[in-house]
Amino acid sequence: MRKLLYRSALGIMVLLFNSHLFAQDEDLLKLLGEDKPKKERIKYAFKSPRVINGHSMEFLNPGTMDFRILHRFGELNKGYKNFFGLDQASMRMGFDFGILQNLMAGIGRSTYKKEVDAYIKYAPIRQSKGPWSSPVTFALVSGITLDGLPWADPTRKNFYTSRLAYYFQAIIGRKFSEQFSLQISPTMVHKNLVQLQTDVNNIYAIGVGGRIKLSKRIAFTWDYSHVLIGMPDSGYYNPLSVGFDIETGGHVFQLHFSNSTGMNERAFITETTGNWGKGEVRFGFNLSRVFQIKKKKAEKK
Amino acid sequence: MKNLFVMTIALLVAMTGMSQKFYTKNGQINFDATSPASPEKIEGINRSATCVVDTKSGNMQFAALMKGFAFERALMEEHFNENYVESDKYPKAEFKGEIKNSDKVDFTKDGNYTVKIKGKLTMHGESNDVETEAKISIQNGKIKATADLNVLLSDYKVSIPGLVADKVSKTVKISVSCLLEPLKS
């Protein structure tokens, strides 16, 4: 019995001494236990809430305003006489507001058709990692456009609502890696009034937008919409834009080539007349400057 | 034989008493990279740093998630994570070091001390030796500690683009403050 007690006491001492020796070199932070994995939203899939023309899966931060100036020049194939299109320009000026982390709204006006457009964008699901996470962002956009041109035919009875068109879009996007983001966006555009009797009022399209980051501040982007139903028989093409996002601190420059002139969903999905094959491509740029209009409240413990 | 048993118990008590560890999970880290030419304050704050101090050996360790830094301006936070510290690639900043003169501090009684801290700071994938002074005060069995530290961004390969080079300070002032509680194991 005594021997047993003696041995166990010795055993305890050895154990204690050993654990004490280990303690010198241990990872102290391990003592607190492993951090529980938290749900974390995947951010910055795109540099801006627009891929090029179309909406991206990204949102503005709450409390910020994005002042966007968009330019589309003339067609490149017009040659030196028009300085490869730079003599003409079409623009859209817009203000976008981040309201919540997953809610934003914006308004803009384009010189093309003197059109005013407004939209609201909401994401019920954001891409995240950790427990209960979603692999994709799912966002919904609803917008309205108002044509500002004089009536094409003033002799007939014209309704104010004939100036309006609507669009509804779902965006399913995923940031696959730091370098690569991809999204698809089924879209429906409804025009209250169409030009020809043969034109349809509802146009259905699917958009594919993506980004490949080339460096910390430069990314290659593309934005394509394929009209599935409602494309007029001739003279219209699917809009394709390719370009680069360049971030310089406060600004994001999006430089690109596109066959569309329009800068809202109605205009670029349904009224793109340029043909890439014939070089009817325009140089364009989007300039985005984000302002913090409401300061973040410092979290209080 | 009874003596040996008593001795063992005594030793056990003494050892647990000696290897006292203190910790926090909500230490505060501020950082300030404002330069005289900055148009606005460049400040971030992290309120969820973890820290463990072994008062017996003087060893201490600090860890903070880079994404835990909050900024007044959302864009600044984006740039911080995306362009400067690349927090997806290097999610954590860690400090592993020791309190140089911990034997001069009586952690069992209330009092104020200034101690030297030396160790390795790892962030953005780079490790550097750092040394600083910290003020600690013992209050009701808890340790209140504050320390300031200046680090050179180039030591951690955080590059600032030429366009904003004069608007971001090349040295960053880091202030740490935390309240450490005894760790019950």
**B55-101 pLDDT, tens digit each:** 888 899 999 999 999 998 888 888 899 889 998 889 999 999 999 88
Please indicate, yes or no, if residue B92 is contained in any of the structural domains: yes
pLDDT of residue A224: 95
Interface check A20 vs B, CB under 8 A: yes
Contact by Cβ (8 Å): B63, B49: yes
Residue found under tokens 């913090």: A292
Complex-level ipTM: 0.73
Please indicate, yes or no, if residue B105 is contained in any of the structural domains: yes
B20 has pLDDT over 90? no
Question: Two tokens at A144?
Answer: 């309205």
B122 has pLDDT over 50? yes
Task: Indicate yes or no: CB of B73 within 8 angstroms of CB of A299.
Answer: no
The mean pLDDT value for A92-113 works out to 95
Interface check B63 vs A, CB under 8 A: yes
Count of domains forming chain B: 1
Question: Two tokens at A21?
Answer: 């020796």
Whole-number average pLDDT of chain B: 86
Fold of A41-292: Porin (2.40.160)
CATH number at residue B123: 2.40.128.110
> How many other C-beta atoms can be found within 10 angstroms of the C-beta atom of residue A153?
7
- Higher per-residue pLDDT: B42 or A14: B42
- The B residues from 99 to 138 touching A (CB cutoff 8 Å) are none
The mean pLDDT value for B147-170 works out to 87
Round to the nearest angstrom and report the end-to-end CA distance of chain B: 30
Please indicate, yes or no, if residue B123 is contained in any of the structural domains: yes
Task: Indicate yes or no: CB of A298 within 8 angstroms of CB of B59.
Answer: no
> pLDDT band at A267, cuts 50/70/90?
very high
> How many other C-beta atoms can be found within 10 angstroms of the C-beta atom of residue A41?
14
Contact by Cβ (8 Å): A115, A93: no
Compute the distance between CA of residue B82 and CA of residue A213 in angstroms, rounded to an integer: 12
Q: pLDDT by residue (tens digit) across A72-101?
A: 998 888 878 778 888 888 999 999 999 999
Please indicate, yes or no, if residue B10 is contained in any of the structural domains: no
Q: In which domain, by residue range, is B29 found? A: 21-182
Compute the distance between CA of residue B113 and CA of residue B102 in angstroms, rounded to an integer: 10
Q: Could you say which of A5, A23, A295 has the minimum Cβ distance to residue B72?
A: A295
Please indicate, yes or no, if residue B43 is contained in any of the structural domains: yes
Name the least confident of A48-52, B9-13, B82-86, B100-104: B9-13
Residue found under tokens 């004089």: A150
Burial (CB count within 10 angstroms: exposed 0-12, middle 13-18, buried 19+), residue B110: exposed
Task: Give the residue from A286, A278, A246 showing the smallest Cα distance to A259.
Answer: A278
Please indicate, yes or no, if residue B4 is contained in any of the structural domains: no
Name the pTM for this structure.
0.80
